Amino acid sequence: MEELKVENEERYVFRNNRRLRTGHTTGTCAAAASKAATIMLLSQKSLESIEIITPNGVQLNLPVEDAIIALDHSSCAIRKDGGDDIDVTHGVLIYSTVMLSNEEGVRIDGGEGVGRVTRKGLDQPPGNAAINTVPRKMINESVLEACHSFGYMGGVSVTISVPDGEEIAEKTFNSRLGIVGGISIIGTSGIVEPMSDAALIDTIRTEMQMRLASGHDYILAVPGNYGEKYAREYPGLSKEYAIRCSNFIGETIDMAVELGVKGLLLFGDLGKLIKVAGGIMNTHSRNADCRMEILSANSILAGVDADTARCIMNCISTDEALDILASIDAKDKVISILLDRMEYYIDRRAAGRLELGIAVFSNRYGLLGITNGVRDIIPKINEAAGQ
């Protein structure tokens, strides 16, 4: 994370010359609420705020809301703050209910609105509440800290709940990941980083782990909606969902190799994947464009004359450039060269450890071309899907 600056209790990072306010994760909220509820139960006194230190060392002082204190339990809520990275959980109240227990240690579970894991390959095993490892550690440490400050050495039962969680979860990937009934309590640093690439990459990793745990050694990956649409319409390919790798082509390849994926099938729009033909592994426009440079250079390799290449350089979209190539009957040859370059760079990134298949499309022309590996990998994807 870029250097964190504090102004009037607000924390900011500077990214791409913009000042962006950070927030705190659902995991931080759950831990802070648990600490506050434990203190209130043991002291029988209410709190207006609670201090907590996040895993990356940031100290927060968070307002305590909706506190209830009884002799045998206490509960309160901390409001999720997404900073300038607003998502569907921004502003949601994360509750913790704490009870003393005869069992040793801190027992953590999810209540209303916290998802339940139903599939292998996620952070928690099937049957567990979708409260990830780092938030569980934060909750455990925060509760123990509060207990020790009062000299209490017994057990504690903690239940995390999110009253609107089930409804909110419908707007997330949870059902797709095999998490039902609510949202996940997540976060590794405890701080929400605005425009966080790390959060997206973590989602890709989670989906890939889930697929592997379900017996899928061959992965279908798409950058976004277009790629998924093309994959669903491709004849003979299982209609099971694809992993959305967004702009993170390189990271997706790295994770596939690291996790032991045998083969990767990549479907996408030429306007996105053409960058891979130039060795660009993060396809976001802020990192690189070069679409027309790559197209014109490879058109020259296909035998296109210099004047036509100059016209391609002046195009504003890949479809416009394809129109020019189609008019001189060079489109298919250029696409073939581009696919070879994409395969070369992906194979180099994977160090030859993945079977590869690439299919590129465009809205105007539909399927533009595939590499030989597509036909080899599709039956293996279908076999894992039971087709």
Task: Using the predicted structure, report yes or no on whether residue 2 has a pLDDT greater than 50.
Answer: no
- CA-to-CA separations, 115 to 58, 99, 213, 235, in angstroms, rounded: 27, 21, 19, 35
Name residue, tokens 């660009």.
280
Task: Using the predicted structure, report yes or no on whether residue 18 has a pLDDT greater than 80.
Answer: no
CB atoms within 10 A of CB 120: 14
What's the CATH code of the domain at 17?
A: 3.30.2110.10
Mean pLDDT of 272-300: 94
Q: Are 265 and 303 contained in the same domain?
A: yes
Task: Using the predicted structure, report yes or no on whether residue 22 has a pLDDT greater than 60.
Answer: yes
**Residue where one domain finishes, among candidates 192, 211, 244:** 192
- CA-atom Rg of the chain in angstroms: 25
Mean pLDDT of 132-140: 97
Q: Are 279 and 225 contained in the same domain?
A: yes
Q: Are 155 and 100 contained in the same domain?
A: yes
Q: Are 376 and 351 contained in the same domain?
A: yes
Q: Using one digit for the tens of pLDDT, what is the confidence trace for 159-199? A: 999 999 999 999 887 887 789 999 999 988 888 776 567 77
Q: Are 37 and 118 contained in the same domain?
A: yes
Q: Are 211 and 314 contained in the same domain?
A: yes
Task: Using the predicted structure, report yes or no on whether residue 79 has a pLDDT greater than 70.
Answer: yes
Q: Are 75 and 165 contained in the same domain?
A: yes
Mean pLDDT of 42-71: 96
Q: Are 247 and 290 contained in the same domain?
A: yes
- The angle at the Cα of 229, spanning 224 to 230, to the nearest 5 degrees, equals 100
Give the domain extent around 25: 4-192
Total tally of structural domains belonging to the chain: 2
**Residue where one domain finishes, among candidates 165, 192, 219:** 192
pTM: 0.67
In the structure encoding, which two tokens stand for residue 213, read together?
A: 């745990």
Residue 72 amino acid letter? D
**Residue where one domain finishes, among candidates 139, 173, 192:** 192
User: What local confidence, expressed as pLDDT, does residue 117 receive?
Assistant: 94
Measured distance CA(5)–CA(161) in Å, rounded: 32
Q: Using one digit for the tens of pLDDT, what is the confidence trace for 83-119? A: 876 678 999 999 999 999 999 999 999 999 999 999 8
In the structure encoding, which two tokens stand for residue 153, read together?
A: 């050495």
Q: Are 289 and 375 contained in the same domain?
A: yes
Q: Are 256 and 337 contained in the same domain?
A: yes
Between residues 193 and 30, which one has the greater pLDDT? 30
Q: Are 158 and 298 contained in the same domain?
A: no
Q: Which residues contact 105 (CB under 8 A, 6 or more apart)?
A: 140, 155, 156
Q: Are 185 and 275 contained in the same domain?
A: no
pLDDT category at 342 given cuts 50, 70, 90 is: very high
